[in-house]
């Protein structure tokens, strides 16, 4: 399995696109991010890396305009990866993604050279809003003020959390869907009808404000609403 993936860059509808590179060690998440980002024709994902070391090598090849960087990587802290990318490509814009929301984490990312900080629990809409500010040339007014960033993102998370409570059956459907099971196999495993599975998934798409199964799974994994396939496998082996 390769750790870094290179995608061909291009031009859509005659409009120059902003080249985006994603650095995250979870393949389901990177694929979901890529799908979500490329719905906007202003952006194209030119590559994906799963470690800080591979991010450096890939960045040299694709010369991204933007790097969406997970701040928790398997081989190094995200802050270090950010500094290295900024030394390698001084003009690159780094958007930090993190599961942590506190002033110390935000301040550390900004001191490392990140242009913006988005907590994973704020979801894809906040990431899209950040990319939109970047495209339109708006300064990230929150970036110099860690307390303000924390307050802003905490408000988003609080508003979203009210709609995230799942029934046990909904959670199980999502976990099996994240494992790659088809609607039919989910129905057989849970001993429910396939139409019930489809009903649950449609309701969940509405709940999480998305029309994409992949994006829905990504949001749930990032917020800890469901377990990852790896965590589920570990839990089952321990039983």
123 and 179 in a single domain? The answer is: no
Which of 101, 128, 161 terminates a domain? The answer is 161
Tell me the per-residue pLDDT of 43-66, one tens digit each, with 9 for 90 and over.
999 999 999 999 999 999 999 999
Domain with residue 56: its CATH number is 3.40.50.2300
Per-residue confidence at 204, pLDDT binned at 50, 70, 90? confident
91 and 137 in a single domain? The answer is: yes
Q: Print the domain residue range for 121.
A: 4-161
147 and 181 in a single domain? The answer is: no
Tell me the per-residue pLDDT of 148-180, one tens digit each, with 9 for 90 and over.
665 666 665 555 555 556 777 788 888 898 888
154 and 189 in a single domain? The answer is: no
Task: State the Cα–Cα distance between residues 202 and 214, nearest whole angstrom.
Answer: 13
Which of 161, 196, 220 terminates a domain? The answer is 161
Per-residue confidence at 200, pLDDT binned at 50, 70, 90? confident
Structural domains counted in the chain: 2
Predicted TM-score (pTM) of the model is 0.62
Q: Quote the Cα angle for 181-220-173, to 5°.
A: 35
76 and 181 in a single domain? The answer is: no
Task: State the Cα–Cα distance between residues 201 and 66, nearest whole angstrom.
Answer: 33
CA distances from 12 to 38, 40, 43, 44 (A): 11, 10, 9, 9
Q: 18: helix, coil or strand?
A: strand
144 and 50 in a single domain? The answer is: yes
31 contacts 90 by C-beta, under 8 angstroms? no
């Amino acid at each position: 399995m390769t750790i870094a993936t290179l995608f061909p860059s291009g031009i859509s509808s005659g409009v120059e696109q902003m080249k985006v590179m994603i650095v995250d060690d979870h393949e389901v998440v990177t694929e979901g991010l890529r799908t979500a980002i490329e719905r906007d024709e202003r952006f194209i994902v030119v590559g994906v890396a799963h470690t800080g070391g591979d991010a450096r090598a890939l960045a040299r090849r694709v010369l991204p305009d933007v790097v969406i960087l997970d701040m928790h990587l398997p081989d190094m802290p995200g802050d270090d990866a950010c500094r290295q990318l900024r030394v390698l490509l001084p003009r690159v814009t780094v958007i930090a993604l993190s599961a942590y929301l506190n002033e110390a984490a935000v301040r550390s990312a900004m001191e490392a050279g990140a242009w913006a900080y988005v907590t994973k629990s704020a979801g894809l809409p906040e990431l899209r809003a950040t990319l939109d500010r970047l495209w339109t040339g708006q300064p990230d007014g929150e970036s110099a003020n860690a307390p303000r960033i924390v307050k802003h993102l905490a408000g988003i998370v609080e508003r979203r959390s009210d709609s995230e409570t799942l029934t046990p059956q909904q959670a199980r459907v999502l976990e099996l869907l994240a494992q790659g099971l088809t609607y039919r196999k989910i129905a057989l495993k849970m001993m429910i009808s396939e139409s019930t599975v489809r009903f649950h998934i449609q309701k969940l798409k509405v709940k999480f404000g998305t029309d994409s199964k992949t994006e829905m799974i990504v949001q749930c994994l990032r917020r800890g609403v469901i377990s990852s396939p790896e965590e589920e496998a570990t839990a089952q082996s321990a039983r």
